[in-house]
Amino acid sequence: MVTGASTGIGEAAVRALRASGWDVVGVARRAERLEALAAQTGATAFPADLTDADQIEALATHLAQTGPVHAVVHVAGGARGTERVEDGLADKWRWMFEANVLAVQQLTAALLPQLRAAAADGGHADLLFVTSVAARDPYPGGSGYNAAKAAEAMIPQVLRQELHGEPIRITEIAPGLVHTEEFALRRLGGDAAAAEAVYSGVGEPLVADDIADLITYALNAPGHVNLDLVVIRPVAQAAPHLLARGPLRPRGED
């Protein structure tokens, strides 16, 4: 099961996992986009808002009836705004914590019994979390997203200890700059010019397929192999706020 499957990394993960032979349930709020993805890939679409506990319960029931569930890939989430701490807006912070933290915790709790059952039958199961370099690298204007992603990153770290001794792999993938259709656009309130400026001039930012390839590798790795944490950035990015714009050249080259 892949969340956030209607766009960006989630959509790319569904495509990559289907190409790799997985049966995939794609979950997101936008039913029309999910249905189109399902028609193209052979995945199953399940529209749901994962900030709603009743919809999480309905999803868990659906998966229990159609499973087994061998892997859960948490992609859904996102950022809202670039305000300083002193200018932070409670509604934006609240949304980020609900989407990036509470939804992830509640969905993980709801599906752990099914993952245990799949592991008992198949040897192992997987919980994979797509967080962000923002979880570890603070930057001006990132406070709300930094806080939410740092909280989300604690979930796999704690789970790895709480599930010690069980055959359930816990993987965290923390991407840097990924040029996707909607992430910056939504963060910046729909300002298309400002969103595109985030990536302007950056030599080869990551794209969603780069992260999807890594997700697929992690799930297809031998069962005794666990990728605890993978930080993945474009070469042009040394830190969240430190981007090389323009061609990359060796020092001293004219």
Please report, rounded to a whole number, the percentage of residues in the chain having pLDDT higher than 90.
Answer: 87
Q: 67: pLDDT confidence band, cut at 50, 70 and 90?
A: confident
Q: What is the pLDDT of residues 138-185, one digit of tens each?
A: 999 999 999 999 999 999 999 999 999 999 999 999 999 999 988 888
Please report, rounded to a whole number, the percentage of residues in the chain having pLDDT higher than 70.
Answer: 100
> If we measure between CA atoms, which residue out of 202, 213, 183, 200 comes closest to residue 248?
202
Burial of 103 (0-12, 13-18, 19+ CB in 10 A): buried
Catalytic annotation on 145? yes
Distance CA 19, CA 23 (A): 10
2-243 CATH choice from 2.40.40.20, 3.40.50.720, 3.90.1150.10, 3.40.720.10: 3.40.50.720
Q: 25: pLDDT confidence band, cut at 50, 70 and 90?
A: very high
Q: 23: pLDDT confidence band, cut at 50, 70 and 90?
A: very high
Helices 143-162, 103-122: axis angle to 10 degrees equals: 30
The Cβ of residue 65 has, within 10 Å, a number of other Cβ atoms equal to 7
Distance CA 205, CA 192 (A): 18
Per-residue b or e along 128-141, where b marks 16 or more CB atoms closer than 10 Å to that residue's CB: bbbbbbbbebeeee
Q: What is the pLDDT of residues 188-207, one digit of tens each?
A: 889 899 989 899 889 889 99
Mean pLDDT of the chain: 95
Is 100 or 242 the better-scoring residue by pLDDT? 100
- Ordered by start, the domain boundaries in the chain are 2-243
